[in-house]
Amino acid sequence: MAPGEAVTGEVEVTEIENVTEDQWAEYHKRLTLHAGGFFIAYGWQANGSWAGPGGVDPSDIAADAILKVLDGTRRYDPSSGIKLMTFLRNVVRSLISHLVEAADTQHRRPMPKVRLGGAEDPVDMEPEGDEPDPLENCIKNEILEKLKKVATEEEDTLVAEILECLDADITKPVEIAEYLNVEVKTINNAQKRLWRKAEKALGQPKQEGTS
């Protein structure tokens, strides 16, 4: 795959032997970002860097997920019809869930399933019934309060409109745009702008020479 080429992130169903080293490198980055969402939600950082229980960082979690699939500890079966990346994301969630269980935190409920919004996972990866989204379930109160502050300080009324949509379970940018009768680009831009503000407010650690 050429650098910078657009991808959906949804890798085809394939035997792991067919995945190239370059593709594994990309999966690792995707999974690192996926795991990073949980670290942000938990506020897992120490001494200016991301650090979960035992000092692991999102990149460690992503690598561990891939290694478990490579060595067969978590056996990926292409005949199940589940895409490799979907399977790997599930392994990441499982590993984080174990970390949460191991750590003596205020969040004691397991997080078997999660979506970071956006594209749909296969049916068997969806939260069941009224089960809350595990990512939402694990957000630390302190993080949530900081986020509220950022949104409250925002002049744009679009924030309130987006919150109304989310309150009504309209969660995808396309659907929100349609509901609010604005362009999807407007929602996407607001999403990025607000995230940048939120990041600052949440106090993300900064490391030298990354990715």
Partner 1 sequence: MKNLERFDDHTWKKFFAFLLPDEKNMTRHEIEAELQHLGIDTRPGLAKVQQGLKKMAAAREARAALEAAKKQRPSLLAKLRDMTSEVSSLTKEDLRRIIGERFSGTAQAAFFRKLDSAASEEDLRSLIDDMSKLDALTEESDDAEP
Tell me how far the alpha carbon of residue 151 is from its chain's centroid. 21
Distances (CA, A) of 177 to 63, 81, 142: 36, 32, 30
Instruction: Please tell me whether residue 95 binds partner 1 under the rule CB under 8 A.
Output: no
Interface map 10-39 toward partner 1 (x if CB under 8 A): x------x---x--xxx-xxx-xxx-xx--
Distances (CA, A) of 3 to 59, 66, 133: 20, 21, 33
Give the residue with the Cβ less far from partner 1, 21 or 128: 21
From the list 47, 79, 106, 210, which residue makes contact with partner 1 (rule: CB under 8 A)? 210
Q: Residue 28 CB, nearest distance to partner 1 (Å)? A: 5
Angle of helix 184-202 relative to helix 141-153, nearest 10 degrees, comes to 120
From the list 42, 50, 76, 87, which residue makes contact with partner 1 (rule: CB under 8 A)? 50
Q: Residue 140 CB, nearest distance to partner 1 (Å)? A: 10
Distance from C-alpha of 202 to C-alpha of 104, rounded to nearest angstrom: 22
Instruction: Please tell me whether residue 174 binds partner 1 under the rule CB under 8 A.
Output: no
Total number of residues that touch partner 1 (CB under 8 A)? 74
Among candidate residues 173, 1, 16, 182, the one with its CA nearest the CA of residue 85: 16
Per CB under 8 A, contacts with partner 1 among 175-204 are: 191, 194-195, 198-199, 204
